[in-house]
Amino acid sequence: MRIWMTGLAILLVIGGALFFAPSPQRTTSITLTFHAKMGDDPLVFDEFLYENPGGPGTFRVRDFRLYLSNLTLSQGEALFAEPDSYHLLRFDNPETTHSIRLNDIPLRNIDHVRFLIGVDPDANGSIQARGDLDPNSQMAWNWEVGYKFVVMEGTLRIGEEVSPLVYHVGFSENAREVDIQLPPDIGSDGNVDLHVNVDVAKLFDGPSQIDLQKLSSVKFNREDAAMLADNYEAMITPSFK
């Protein structure tokens, strides 16, 4: 009888210990911090600091912002897609950064982060407010066309002459996918802290090199828009590389 009681007590203690022991971590949280850059340096607004990459003159940036959508995180085959995933990245703050935090993602770790620069065609053709999509915002472009995906506005100065720079790139076909593979050691205790650079210079300096004097605005011309989209496709890169 005593043995039987002792056995029961031991079982209870072990069971209780198992029950209250910290279970292995099952979810992950991630912070994506986007750093606006011009080349290797943090972007500075409103100062004539930058050389025209394809011609004469210097330019300043008054506004730079973009839509990021359809953020998905994955570990091997397991995939988590953020619902209503529409983020307007804007950098008009002293750090010129923009952060997105996602908590308690049902993945043990994350090896891939994927998203679109731009908006998927379905949401782009809708006037429903979702995430940061807002048809009454500055990024709403044209009732028929949808949203601007990437916006850069500024001024080009050549000698004493100044002229406006307006790059509004949209059209559903210009959404570009970005796929970032994370190194295996990036997460600790279920937290991933990912830093990403957004290089404005790439907009004008990629497969096509743009002379800001010759092409001082891009709006509704589809060829021009596609050319800038092919450039901005490589604009966002992780900073651990």
Which residues lie near another protein (CB under 8 A)? 45-46, 62, 88, 90, 92, 127, 129, 134-138, 140-143, 153-155, 163-166, 168, 216-217, 219-221, 224
According to DSSP, residue 126 is labeled -
Min dist CB 166 to another protein, Å, is 5
Ordered alpha helix ranges (H), 48-142: 121-124
**Which CB atom, from 80 or from 167, has the smaller least distance to another protein?**
167
Burial class (CB in 10 A: 0-12, 13-18, 19+), 229: buried
Strands 217-218 and 161-170: parallel
* Least spacing, CB of residue 147 vs another protein, in Å: 12
Closer to another protein by CB, 60 or 80: give it.
60
User: Cβ closer to another protein: 55 or 190?
Assistant: 55
Closest CA to 147 of 137, 158, 157: 137
Asked if 200 and 64 touch (Cβ cutoff 8 Å), the reply is yes
The C-alpha atoms of residue 146 and residue 91 are separated, in whole angstroms, by: 22
Q: Least CB distance from residue 230 to another protein, whole Å?
A: 18
Q: How far is the CB of 132 from another protein (least distance, A)?
A: 9
Give 13 or 129: the residue with its C-beta nearer to another protein. 129
